Amino acid sequence: MAALYCKGGHILSVWCGFRRVSPNQRLFSMCVTSGKKRVNGVDLFYQQTGQGDHSVLLLPGALGSGQTDFGPQLEKLDKTRFTVVTWDPRGYGQSRPPDRDFPLDFFHRDAKDAIDLMQTLGFRHFSLLGWSDGGITALIAAALNPAVIKKMVVWGSNAYVSEQDLKIYNAIRDVSLWSERMRQPLEKMYGHQYFRETWERWVDGISQFAQNPKGNICRELLQLVVCPTLIVHGAKDPMVPSFHPEYLVQKIKGSRTTTEQALYGWWIIFSTAVTLVDTMPLSTLVLGDSSDTTANSLAQRLTKKTKKQVFVSYNLPMTDASLTLLVEKRIKKEMELHPDKF
């Protein structure tokens, strides 16, 4: 079912799907509301789904949008536990016009836009999940709004720009050198010219921070972050050197970090708690090879056993099934011995 209606001068669209559930054959709604809200002089596009008590804002990376960066999370995160909101920052995705620009305060501007959008939507307390530029935006938003942010997860993010970073940015300036797989989603969303020109502006925009003392983006704000924070990093991430997450975890009090050995050899799985929707819980693959279902299956089985949402970071040899079973048995044994830890 789809509906389109006008509210408060803005067009809103609602897409609803229904799934038959057992054993009582009730219907479970999977509605996604999308629309635009006037915030700080700009019409910002957002998507919202779920009815859970824990509200979460998902912040996309450079030139990204809520749908392109977080489509699986919109679809599969447990809607009974979470209310999930994505947004397109000004100049990105469907938050155009205006065209995107990159003044020296563009991260702070995005942070204010994000907080003000959520409050316009009626959310007073919520968590942040941000990656790349969205992670930097989340760091600033959490630091400047400690009474608003519950928890935070960031990955692929940095608080300053180094000389090494400048070399990386300049190496990827020319989008014609990108693989077709990397270019295609952005060219489809923006068109070739806007994508190319905006990416070049982004490279110039992020590079300008190198002119600040110590390449500062938000160093001084990290000490103000008080919410529980998880910093995720891929050890072979080609865009973000490992010294960036190391710096973040040093400066954000009480934060934790997880580092994996391969960018495309590790997986993060959010598997929903057992509900009446399916006999087997759903799972969402954030990173990794979608043809390898081992991590999904493990997350689903553990979720079914614990009746809780499960987060799995997986980096085992894909060909060694016996090792995977051994790890699963050991996890289940630990659950039996220490149920209070799970």
- The answer to whether 267 touches 295, Cβ cutoff 8 Å, is yes
Q: CA–CA separation, 137 vs 42, rounded Å?
A: 17
Quick count: other Cβ atoms within 10 Å of Cβ 42? 19
CA angle 153, 158, 162 (to 5 degrees): 170
> Which phi and psi (to 5°) does residue 74 adopt?
-60, -40
Instruction: Tell me which residue of 60, 38, 39 sits closest to 113, measured CA to CA.
Output: 39
Instruction: Tell me which residue of 255, 45, 226, 86 sits closest to 155, measured CA to CA.
Output: 255
pLDDT for residue 263: 38
Instruction: Tell me which residue of 222, 217, 93 sits closest to 152, measured CA to CA.
Output: 222
Q: CA–CA separation, 48 vs 58, rounded Å?
A: 10
Instruction: Tell me which residue of 256, 221, 230 sits closest to 139, measured CA to CA.
Output: 221
Evaluate the omega torsion of the peptide bond into residue 281 and state whether it is cis, within 30 degrees of 0: no
pLDDT for residue 289: 55
Q: CA–CA separation, 136 vs 148, rounded Å?
A: 17
pLDDT per residue as tens digits for the range 16-43 = 554 443 343 333 346 899 999 999 999 9
Instruction: Tell me which residue of 229, 272, 231 sits closest to 254, measured CA to CA.
Output: 229
Tokens of 312: 């799995």
Instruction: Tell me which residue of 122, 155, 142, 35 sits closest to 87, measured CA to CA.
Output: 35
- Answer whether 0.75 is exceeded by the pTM: no
Residues in CB range of 274: below 8 A, 6 or more apart = 281, 303, 304, 307
pLDDT for residue 335: 78
Quick count: other Cβ atoms within 10 Å of Cβ 254? 10
pLDDT for residue 281: 53
Q: What is the pLDDT along the chain (342 residues), one digit of tens a residue?
A: 444 444 444 555 555 554 443 343 333 346 899 999 999 999 999 999 999 999 999 999 999 999 999 998 888 888 899 999 999 999 999 999 999 999 999 999 999 999 999 999 999 999 999 999 999 999 999 999 999 999 999 999 999 999 999 999 999 999 999 988 889 999 999 999 999 999 999 999 999 999 999 999 999 999 999 999 999 988 778 899 999 999 999 999 999 988 655 433 333 333 332 232 234 555 555 555 556 666 667 777 777 777 666 666 666 655 556 767 777 777 778 878 877 766
Q: Which residues pair with 153 in a beta bridge?
A: 129, 230
Q: CA–CA separation, 170 vs 154, rounded Å?
A: 24
Q: Which residues pair with 2 in a beta bridge?
A: 15
- The answer to whether 39 touches 116, Cβ cutoff 8 Å, is yes
